Structure 1
Amino acid sequence: MSSPFKTLTVIAFHKQFIADHHPQRIITDSTPSSSTMQKRPKTTSSRLQFFVRMMWECDSLVIRASREDTVETLLIQISFKIKVPDVYLRLIYKGKQLQIEQNLGECGIENDANLQLVGRLKSIACPVVWKGTQRVVSVILRLCRNEVVCDAEGLIDNHFKKYMDNPEYFGVFMFMKIPALLVNLLMSPWVSNKTIADSSIKQFVQKSLEMKCKTLQGLYIEVVLEFCELLRGVGCTSDNLLYVYCRDSFATLLGHVGVIFRNSKRRVLLQGVSYCVREIADGLLKYLDLSMSCVTSGEISCSDVRGFVNFSTPLRKGISEQHGESEDCGIYYAEHPWLAGVVDQLRIVFDQLLSKMDECLQVMENCLGNKEQGEGDRDAIHSGRSHYLYILKELYHISKLSSGAEEMFWGVLLRRKNMLSYLIVRYAERTDDHRWVLENMSVTDFESRRHLALMLFPALNDEVLGYDMLIGRSQVLGESFEYISSAKPESLEGGLFMEFKNEEATGPGVLREWFVLVCQEIFNPKNALYLACPNDQRRFFPNAASKVHPLHLKYFSFSGRMIALALKSKVHVGVVFDRVFFKQLAGNYITLEDIRDADPIMYHSCKQILEMNADYIDTDVLGLTFSVEVEELGCRRVIELCPGGESIVVDSKNREMYVDLLIQNRFVTSISKQVSHFAKGFADIISDKRLEFFQYLDLEDLDWMLHGSENAISVEDWKAHTKYNGYKEIDRQISWFWEIVGRMSVEQKKVLLFFWTSVKYLPVEGFRGLASRLCICKSNEPENHLPTSHTCFYELCFPPYSSITIMQDRLGIITQEHMSCSFGTP
């Protein structure tokens, strides 16, 4: 190895075996899309076109570059084309070696000039690596000539094991073009050679995947890509197991390395990743075509879905990184030479897939709306479409990369809102990240947003014993506070079990009743924890004067836990939050319009200040300064809204600031501790997802989840969701029952429903939203007995009364509100 050109003779020796993979005699600098070619400016005085001739090959490269480009940039570009690391390359012009830090203008290179490319070994400090690699090259060449080599597969495998961890090895491996040799061996007519080549390529790729050093993985990822390109060059497609293995491994390595553009010298060929995206997208389009069949069995392979995401993710992140920006910061264009055509090609893929998804969702909607299909049939129809959400999520990210794509994406989803919501409720999984839908909540409905929010709660942990409580009705708030506040958060993951003192009933029905009773006490204005809005007595926000209670902050933590547990248990407790409270829990800023219900007097006063004539307010007729007088525990004191605020007069120039600071003081600063402790208690139940929970919803969504339906109870809906046990729908007792219920007052219906189910507030969907259908059961008791209920199972039991008068009398007794909680059993 005394001569630095010795390996060039090896290249010449096996050139005949790689010629099939480089058939072109002239290699251009890129293969851009037609749209990119149309955009490319014509050659000007600042642009150069010249020829680079390789001393060890007969081919020439046609290079286009700017006079401002450096020699180093040029060498990197050339290295990608000839698959030789740039550290081993040198350029000669007019007999002189060009220095890498020079730009082409400084080198005096003229248009249509000829340059020579030579190879020089970077170092011979590791001659054993070069000798070992030459030995493997010799083995492969002998096999290609059909010579017998004992244990050739073992020799190649041991060579990889021995040298792949050596940083010198990558350059030698690529310089000797071993990937091309192994693919040539794979294509030889002898089966034994195919087996050896297949195994050797897999061994190399597997060792690349298993490497602990990301720096080395960042080098070998280029080799794996080289194998993909060479295998495609000899006709291997997605049906070829070796090609798919290399392509999938390439995607895995992209995930390990993290980014495509690691530094200015070592890059993964972006066009190669782009090709994989286009190739897999073609398979994905076929998958989507199959999924549109209303008879699909759901057994279609989803490998193309995973593959598309695996390649598209690093590709779009690489494009963003090359621009030095976050991928969500704006629109990108392929101006950089390494991005030429890539963004355009990705946009074509985006347009094709989005159009196909639009078609798929339309077909899906037609199938769901087909009244000839039964419920069971519809379940089978859509079992093959569980991956639509993954595709849409990736298209959302891709839409960030080109102009107009986002508008197209959200336009399709808005048009297919019903189907997107159906997919979320049906297929969204707890482990997935669905935050992308938050960017445009108008494309989802309440049911899907509720589903996403509730999935943020941890699943019920069967390994944790249930938390038992025994509580007296007369002390329901205080005793519940002691139980829930003292519990460790993890002890509440296994569910709650409680019973009231001196009562036999237990189970979910009693638990629902307990939630309602406790929350009504928490938000009772008499307890001074929360204030009701003057304009809407159902709405509450923290009371700044709650400090009159020495344990008030602990009670706010307790109330946060209670609300979270009620939401997790899907119990409607009959209270709702005011907007100023909801927005703070979601991490949003409070504005003037947000305080309309919480303090209508302050709202109108601030509106007047903002709308007053500027000259009038500048006369200081209002006498306002940046301060406010408050009363705390019977004492009045002045609070400055900003430093020195008491001496700053409000005028037409600073009145907007004054109003904003006034609002922040009244509805943020003064209750910040209360909100913080509520949020902490809520987070105890939902872990670190508290902010995300409230961001998934709008205020009306949370209203429906906490309070339930505002509509009057529909007897027809009630009847439609009731079944019978022991009775038949045509029995006279059943006819009497519904006739009597139909004549009941609104309050009597609510009491009957509560007696029957322990549900005081129906879900917004009505009876359809309950956990199960209601049931009327025939009891064997004599007719002088009152009806009873099993609230856990939504069962109402009564004997076969002999007349409607007797039944009406018995139902009238149990629909008295003070009696309704005395008859329920588990």
Structure 2
Amino acid sequence: AVGGGGGGSSSSSADRPGSALTLRPALLASLSHDGAPSSSDRRALQASAAEARCARFVLIQRFNALLAHLAPLVHSSREHEAHTLGGRLCLLRGVVFLEVKQALLQRFVTSTAKDADAPQVLLNRLRALSKQSPDGSHTLLAQLQEQLSLLHPRALCRADKAFRVNFVGEAADDHGGPYREAITQICGELQSGQLPLLLRCPNGRHGVGAGRDVYLPRPAASSARELGWFRFVGQLLGLALRQKETQLPLNLPSLVWKQLVSQPLDESDLRGTDELCWQSLQKLRTIDQEGVDAALFGDVIFETFQAQLSDGSEVELLPGGRHSRVTFESRHDYCDAVLAARLRESRQQCDALLQGISLVLPQRLLSLFTWEQLERLACGSADVSVEVLRGRTKYGVGVSSVQRHVRYFWAALRGFTPEQRSAFLRFVWGRSRLPISAAEWGDTRFTLHTKQSPRPDALFPVAHTCFFSLELPAYTSAAICRERLLYAITHCLAIDIDTTTGARENRQLTAWSSSEDEEEEPGAPPSPTARR
């Protein structure tokens, strides 16, 4: 079962344990893979000799110590404005410690956080699932955007969560669980075709290359409504950078993230989404090495100066390009033009995302981060590590890690696929990715209780999403434990067994407030495995 029930400023970076700002250079060689500095910081420290490595680290460490104090005074530009001091700092983003960047971000977040009550929204998940339309008008994203557009964006800049969710027809009281569940479901809509905003990249559609699970902004999604939705998704991304409670499990490629932090795009970004196109361009550039010269070129290559974008639409690379044949001499110009067209095909949509982010965060804060850092801060890690989760687990009264059903539980999680582990996390917490750092975890712990019963094998587990806890029956075999868990995480979507007054009122809501819609059936009774 699952329920929705209950769910400041930090110290200086240099005062935190494990800080790269206070790390002694002599300890540099003993850093673990997950230690400070971060992976992007370590790349800046590569040197052949240990002494040179330590000397370089001292220099970078001193630079970061000064920057930590002075960045609020000078960081006011973006990378393309290299003539300014702020622009030069953005060019050095690879040697700026992540903790310095996060401290700068946190300073802004703390100074602009609102302490007013969270605005309430009413979301109808039953309608979103049962009345799908090509234009996405019944989706949760559309419902949420319509209601929040009536508010000033700053009203959502709260310290914990941006708004409070009431699910129509579901007995859920939002203390964190329904909020996280709504955000996760919206990301699912974006990546499932329910909304005309994103599409699976060509690598995913063709089953080749890397990044087969990423989604690209649809180049044709340029109507006022669609760009408005992109701006709203950008606003959610900005809130994810501000709030621990907000995390967007989106699979977007470097081609998108780089545009958000003003990092230059290159061929690797095309290859990461369309391997076949990249290979074609490489072969065309080096076709002379295959024995094809100017005389033979026209017999084997029939391209004109137009390119096919990721959604299948075609654009001319120059005026009248569809009638202009590519020649042996012009093939490099053609390849450069195709590369440029493919890399900028989603610029309008990415600009809309950036506009949405800027409603809750200044763009200049983003440009100090690398694209990888921004992705992890907003979306978390896609890999749900069982060992990380176990390290963040506490056990309820009378429960210990050596008990038989608890051992069955951890064995079942280890045997799950990555998708199943993400589904489990959503079942117990309303989000599908783990926090990426100790700071984001804070005091949060997963709690495992035993659900007492004389017939445990007949029961399903009960999850409390707001409290990040699970009641696990004392199953008598590993096979039964795995079977019951898989059924629960696969079939239990509703958060429907809270017993508070607010939850009961939500349960009685049976219709969406729209005169054009027919009357809906009352909410279904809770399933055998429910969520609080």
TM-score range, shorter chain: 0.5 to 0.7
Asked whether the 8 Å contact 1:558–1:678 carries over to 2, the reply is: yes
Equivalent position of 2:146 in the other structure: 482
Whole-angstrom CA distance in 2 between matches of 1:698 and 1:541: 19
Change (3 A) 1:533 1:823: same
TM-fit CA distance, 1:596: 0.7
1:664-679 matches, cutoff 5 A: 664-668=340-344, 670-679=345-354
Do residues 727 (structure 1) and 434 (structure 2) align? no
Do residues 467 (structure 1) and 136 (structure 2) align? no
- Matched-pair identity in %: 18
What SS is found at the alignment partner of 1:470? strand
Change (3 A) 1:811 1:767: farther
Whole-angstrom CA distance in 1 between matches of 2:309 and 2:96: 43
Do residues 513 (structure 1) and 181 (structure 2) align? yes
Change (3 A) 1:807 1:554: same
Letter in 1 for 2:341: N
Change (3 A) 1:506 1:365: same
Asked whether the 8 Å contact 2:461–2:484 carries over to 1, the reply is: yes
What SS is found at the alignment partner of 1:525? coil
Equivalent position of 2:337 in the other structure: 661
Asked whether the 8 Å contact 1:413–1:420 carries over to 2, the reply is: no
TM-fit CA distance, 1:574: 2.6
Whole-angstrom CA distance in 1 between matches of 2:341 and 2:21: 52
Among candidates 482, 494, 499, match of residue 166 of structure 2: 499
1:304-338 Cα distance to aligned partner (Å, 9 max, x none): xxxxxxxxxxxxxxxxxxxxxxxxxxxxxxxxxxx
Letter in 1 for 2:195: N
Do residues 596 (structure 1) and 271 (structure 2) align? yes
Letter in 2 for 1:746: F
What SS is found at the alignment partner of 1:519? helix
Equivalent position of 2:317 in the other structure: 641
TM-fit CA distance, 1:411: 7.2
Asked whether the 8 Å contact 1:779–1:798 carries over to 2, the reply is: yes
TM-score (norm 1): 0.43
Whole-angstrom CA distance in 1 between matches of 2:310 and 2:21: 63
Equivalent position of 2:389 in the other structure: 718
Change (3 A) 1:431 1:630: closer
Change (3 A) 1:583 1:552: same
Change (3 A) 1:506 1:600: same
Alignment length (residue pairs): 417
TM-fit CA distance, 1:450: 5.5
Whole-angstrom CA distance in 1 between matches of 2:393 and 2:490: 23
What SS is found at the alignment partner of 1:487? coil
Asked whether the 8 Å contact 1:519–1:562 carries over to 2, the reply is: no
TM-fit CA distance, 1:665: 2.7
Letter in 2 for 1:727: G
Asked whether the 8 Å contact 2:376–2:436 carries over to 1, the reply is: yes
Letter in 2 for 1:489: P
1:196-219 Cα distance to aligned partner (Å, 9 max, x none): xxxxxxxxxxxxxxxxxxxxxxxx
1:175-199 Cα distance to aligned partner (Å, 9 max, x none): xxxxxxxxxxxxxxxxxxxxxxxxx
- Structure 1, unmatched stretches of 5+, are 1-295, 297-357, 370-407
- Structure 2, unmatched stretches of 5+, are 1-14, 32-50, 76-85, 129-139, 204-210, 499-531
TM-fit CA distance, 1:543: 0.9
1:666-723 Cα distance to aligned partner (Å, 9 max, x none): 332x43332222221221121xx22541x33333334433443344532x44333222
Equivalent position of 2:249 in the other structure: 574
Equivalent position of 1:743 in the other structure: 412
Equivalent position of 1:610 in the other structure: 285
Letter in 1 for 2:275: P
Change (3 A) 1:360 1:739: closer
Equivalent position of 1:775 in the other structure: 447
What SS is found at the alignment partner of 1:507? coil
Asked whether the 8 Å contact 2:184–2:430 carries over to 1, the reply is: no
Among candidates 758, 763, 767, match of residue 435 of structure 2: 763
Equivalent position of 2:358 in the other structure: 683
Whole-angstrom CA distance in 2 between matches of 1:786 and 1:501: 25
Asked whether the 8 Å contact 1:576–1:702 carries over to 2, the reply is: no
Whole-angstrom CA distance in 1 between matches of 2:63 and 2:468: 32
Q: Which has the higher contact order (CA 8 A, sep 6+)?
A: 2
Change (3 A) 1:791 1:771: farther
Letter in 2 for 1:533: C
Whole-angstrom CA distance in 1 between matches of 2:303 and 2:460: 67
Asked whether the 8 Å contact 2:426–2:432 carries over to 1, the reply is: yes
Whole-angstrom CA distance in 1 between matches of 2:441 and 2:342: 39
Equivalent position of 1:556 in the other structure: 230
Whole-angstrom CA distance in 2 between matches of 1:809 and 1:642: 59
TM-fit CA distance, 1:517: 0.5
1:513-552 matches, cutoff 5 A: 513-535=181-203, 536-547=211-222, 551-552=225-226
What SS is found at the alignment partner of 2:213? strand
Change (3 A) 1:675 1:438: closer
Do residues 819 (structure 1) and 492 (structure 2) align? yes
TM-fit CA distance, 1:752: 3.8
TM-score (norm 2): 0.63
Among candidates 20, 24, 29, match of residue 362 of structure 1: 24
1:510-566 Cα distance to aligned partner (Å, 9 max, x none): 21111111011123235331122233233222111225x772222222222222223
Whole-angstrom CA distance in 2 between matches of 1:824 and 1:420: 54
Q: Which has the higher helix share?
A: 1
Asked whether the 8 Å contact 1:752–1:814 carries over to 2, the reply is: no
1:349-403 Cα distance to aligned partner (Å, 9 max, x none): xxxxxxxxx997528969x99xxxxxxxxxxxxxxxxxxxxxxxxxxxxxxxxxx
What SS is found at the alignment partner of 1:575? coil
Letter in 1 for 2:144: S
What SS is found at the alignment partner of 1:498? strand
What SS is found at the alignment partner of 2:400? coil
Asked whether the 8 Å contact 1:754–1:820 carries over to 2, the reply is: no
Whole-angstrom CA distance in 1 between matches of 2:479 and 2:445: 27
TM-fit CA distance, 1:737: 1.5
